[in-house]
Structure 1
Amino acid sequence: MAVLAAVVVTRDGRREVAPKPPAATPRASPAEAAAALAAFVDAVAGRDRDALEALSPAGMPASQELLSGIASNVRALALTSVSARYVNQVGTVSADGSWTGSAELTWQLEGFDEEPARSDVAVRFAPDGDGLAIAGFEASAGDGSRLPLWLRGRLSVARTGDVLVMADGPTSVAEAAAARAVRGIDVVRRVLPDWRSPVVVEVPASAAELDETLGAEPGTYAGIAAVTAPAGDPADLDGPVHVFVNPAVSDGLRRVGAQVVMSHELVHVATDAVRRPVEPWLLEGFADYVALRDTRLPDRVTLGRAIAAARRDGVPDALPTAADFDTRGRDLQARYEEAWLACRIISERLGEQRLVQLHREVVAAGSAPALALGTTTLTEPALVRAWQERLGDLVR
């Protein structure tokens, strides 16, 4: 048996102690991380709750509970095509040997997503026995990585026809969102009767979680009630698109307002305009036109913020631009209302079917609305003048 001991040396009457060998510095092990991820994928594919729970570090009940919740989500959501490839280390290794690694993750909702979503996800590893365990999943602000909702723990899931809702909250939250989506589908089909596609709605627990789910900087969606966005990497043009709800805003809306928000987002799903270079005023104005079409609200309600902004700053010189739709802009809601008014004027002057055709042409060709309007009796300059006059009348 080898014994390590301090060595006492006498030199010129002084006692010196030779230093002990330095303790081993914890290091990241890509091979062990890849093995842990492979075990995670196998457990997900097998719908094996016990195997998933076994991947948590010993003595960390929170991690075990997280993985147990993920097992429930995998079954409730019918997740398929799940893969996880280790990419690299993120940050340094902690004194306890835990560290974070980036993994390229894919996942797909069977029956709802035509293709898998893909995104980088931060995984927290911790030493466990002779290998690594999975302590949890994280969002890394600023690098575009995401924390998909189904990796946050047990979710509430509601299915109704062509609608699937997952919510980080009680079942009532998922069921309420599903009911709004079903009504919203009917609203959209009154204008776009040929639309037929399943809808997925995700409801994080907070605005901060919404930012993390979409890989956005903190505060990006704080003032947005909902957003339609790619479920994975926005650069993946074939990936699925879902509706994401911000409960911090939507919960404060009245029933009609919450329904208009959902119907608006479903227009974006129906027109497949999320990844296409559509002029923002037409993109958002058309969605609001469809969502508000059959409501019985007076203009001073539906245009209330636009009227207030015009009274304060004057009637705008031009239709809203991309910069005007900054999610953190002071008058963001006014810009939406102004865009809606422009689309309503097009419908009044040219008819609803021409508005639908105009939107379809612009989305399909990626052209400017001015080019499409140029083929009608209403040019864009004429539209802007009519829009300014209508807004000016409301201000007076």
Structure 2
Amino acid sequence: MGAVVLTRGDRYEVAPRPADVPRASPAAAAAAVASFVDGVDARDAETLAGLAPAGDTDAEERLTSIARNADSLDLRGVTARYVDQVGTVAADGSWTGIVDLTWQFGGLDAEPSRADIAVAFAPDDDGLGVTGFRAAGTGRVPLWLRDELSVARADGVLVLVDGAPAEAEAVADRVARGIGVVSRVLTDWSSPVVVEVPASAADLDETLGAVPGTYASIAAVTTTAGSGTGPDAPVHVFVNPDVTAGLRRAGAQVVMSHELVHVATDAARTPIEPWLLEGFADYVALRDTHLPDRTTLGRAIEAARGDGVPTELPSAADFDTRAPDLQARYEEAWLACRIIAETLGEGALVETYAAAATGLSVVDALRRSGLSQRRLTQQWRTQLRALA
């Protein structure tokens, strides 16, 4: 078809031919993610591998691994809805789209988790193929969408690790011991436990949809598995292997027991002052370790010697994941909770925490138990000064 020549006075204008450039196809993307869901539901490695573009062995292997993960994790409630394109289409026709994904670990998650994930698409002989999953902005990449996972199970416990089976078993052992530690204080606890261990701190950030580096120095975090925050949104423990790999066995156990306190008290959805939230978890985790103060309070002592004894209990800002002397703040919070238990008894500490978890201010919760926050702070400062 020839070009159309337009005339305007003495000027001649030629309408350009439509450029033949690659375009994203929402319909093809929707069909691809529908096939993906079918393959996951059927645990069908062949169907999932068939979504990889011809010749892309990495994508084929990744998709095959997802079929095995779906089986070992008893994935249920998986849905995927194409939402929108992200960025531009590359010269080779590849592009990325946002997909609204839901998933649920059978028998452990009360409801499905939900998150927006970025799916990488590429043209294929039969239409549109899937090449992988990645973080886009604050989007998440659920652990089961990565490589084939090692899985360990016990009654009411699921551990999934992007690593060796021996690591999954070791984490499961820590969970079992941690349940015993927590149950000695929180005797009515019986909720299931799911622990996810990515391959690295960077993968942990992507799994949680966090800015890179957010959890680089954090050993573990207990939070919702997806973006939902409702009362039934699944809450899992996420472990940073880059940090825990450097801990001794006792230290790794304290980390796990600490996180299980958060699971038992639904801390991920509980509005409570961080010093009480974290200090209480450490109190329970350290209760039967019988470690000397120079070990459990080493960073707090060092900080007090260098900067002086703080005038107030740690604030919310002190517990930012990138805050300086973060470990010292945790130790200071633990000391405050230990003082409550020593002064009023362990039962009063538990009652103070429970009252604050219902929305009562910490000041009022302490007063109800028989200790003013001013007196607590004075005793806390006196002990820190003596230790330093």
Same structural fold, with TM-score higher than 0.5 when normalized by the shorter chain = yes
| 2:196 counterpart (202, 210, 216) | 202
Query: In the alignment, is residue 77 of structure 1 matched against residue 73 of structure 2?
Result: yes
Describe how 1:82-161 pairs up with structure 2 within 5 A.
82-140=78-136, 143-161=137-155
- Residue identity matched to 2:20: A
| 1:192 counterpart (175, 186, 195) | 186
**Identity score, percent:** 63
Native 8 Å contact 1:158 1:166 kept in 2: yes
Give the aligned partner of residue 175 of structure 1.
Answer: 169
Give the aligned partner of residue 58 of structure 1.
Answer: 54
Query: In the alignment, is residue 217 of structure 1 matched against residue 192 of structure 2?
Result: no
Native 8 Å contact 2:219 2:241 kept in 1: yes
Deviations 1:193-213 (A, max 9, x none): 110011000000000000000
| 1:320 counterpart (314, 321, 324) | 314
Change (3 A) 1:82 1:172: same
Native 8 Å contact 2:113 2:228 kept in 1: no
Give the aligned partner of residue 374 of structure 2.
Answer: 381
Rounded Cα–Cα distance in structure 2 between residues aligned with 1:195 and 1:377: 26
Give the aligned partner of residue 365 of structure 2.
Answer: 372
Rounded Cα–Cα distance in structure 1 between residues aligned with 2:273 and 2:205: 24
Deviations 1:289-308 (A, max 9, x none): 00000002101110000000
- Per the TM alignment, residue 21 of structure 1 is displaced from its structure 2 partner at its CA by 5.6
Give the aligned partner of residue 12 of structure 1.
Answer: none
Which stretch shows the higher mean deviation, 289-298 or 124-133?
124-133
Deviations 1:64-106 (A, max 9, x none): 0000100010000000000001111011101111100000100
Rounded Cα–Cα distance in structure 2 between residues aligned with 1:347 and 1:170: 41
Structure 2 alignment gaps of length 5 or more: 3-13
SS in 1 for 2:355: helix
Q: State the number of aligned residues.
A: 378
Which stretch shows the higher mean deviation, 21-30 or 96-105?
21-30
- Residue identity matched to 2:373: E
Which stretch shows the higher mean deviation, 115-124 or 157-166?
157-166
Which stretch shows the higher mean deviation, 232-241 or 192-201?
232-241
Give the aligned partner of residue 386 of structure 2.
Answer: 393
Rounded Cα–Cα distance in structure 1 between residues aligned with 2:127 and 2:230: 34
Give the aligned partner of residue 36 of structure 2.
Answer: 40
Give the aligned partner of residue 259 of structure 2.
Answer: 265
Rounded Cα–Cα distance in structure 1 between residues aligned with 2:220 and 2:267: 16
Native 8 Å contact 1:279 1:369 kept in 2: yes
Give the aligned partner of residue 15 of structure 1.
Answer: none
- Residue identity matched to 1:331: D
Rounded Cα–Cα distance in structure 2 between residues aligned with 1:375 and 1:116: 39
SS in 1 for 2:54: coil
Native 8 Å contact 1:118 1:236 kept in 2: no
Tell me how large the CA RMSD over aligned residues is.
1.6
- Per the TM alignment, residue 22 of structure 1 is displaced from its structure 2 partner at its CA by 6.3
Rounded Cα–Cα distance in structure 2 between residues aligned with 1:21 and 1:59: 33
Which stretch shows the higher mean deviation, 112-121 or 372-381?
372-381
Change (3 A) 1:341 1:234: farther
- Per the TM alignment, residue 377 of structure 1 is displaced from its structure 2 partner at its CA by 2.6
SS in 2 for 1:114: coil
- Residue identity matched to 2:242: A
- Residue identity matched to 2:246: G
Rounded Cα–Cα distance in structure 1 between residues aligned with 2:331 and 2:351: 21
Native 8 Å contact 2:72 2:151 kept in 1: yes
Rounded Cα–Cα distance in structure 1 between residues aligned with 2:229 and 2:291: 39
Describe how 1:325-336 pairs up with structure 2 within 5 A.
325-336=319-330
SS in 2 for 1:145: coil
Query: In the alignment, is residue 242 of structure 1 matched against residue 242 of structure 2?
Result: no
Change (3 A) 1:192 1:261: same
- Per the TM alignment, residue 376 of structure 1 is displaced from its structure 2 partner at its CA by 3.1
Rounded Cα–Cα distance in structure 1 between residues aligned with 2:234 and 2:369: 35
Rounded Cα–Cα distance in structure 2 between residues aligned with 1:119 and 1:21: 41
SS in 1 for 2:369: coil
Change (3 A) 1:314 1:356: same
Structure 1 alignment gaps of length 5 or more: 6-17
Rounded Cα–Cα distance in structure 2 between residues aligned with 1:194 and 1:31: 51
- Per the TM alignment, residue 236 of structure 1 is displaced from its structure 2 partner at its CA by 4.1
Query: In the alignment, is residue 29 of structure 1 matched against residue 50 of structure 2?
Result: no
| 1:341 counterpart (335, 338, 341) | 335
Give the aligned partner of residue 345 of structure 2.
Answer: 351
- Per the TM alignment, residue 234 of structure 1 is displaced from its structure 2 partner at its CA by 4.5
Rounded Cα–Cα distance in structure 1 between residues aligned with 2:232 and 2:90: 38
SS in 1 for 2:368: coil
- Residue identity matched to 1:382: R
Native 8 Å contact 1:101 1:123 kept in 2: yes
- Residue identity matched to 1:28: A
- Residue identity matched to 2:123: P
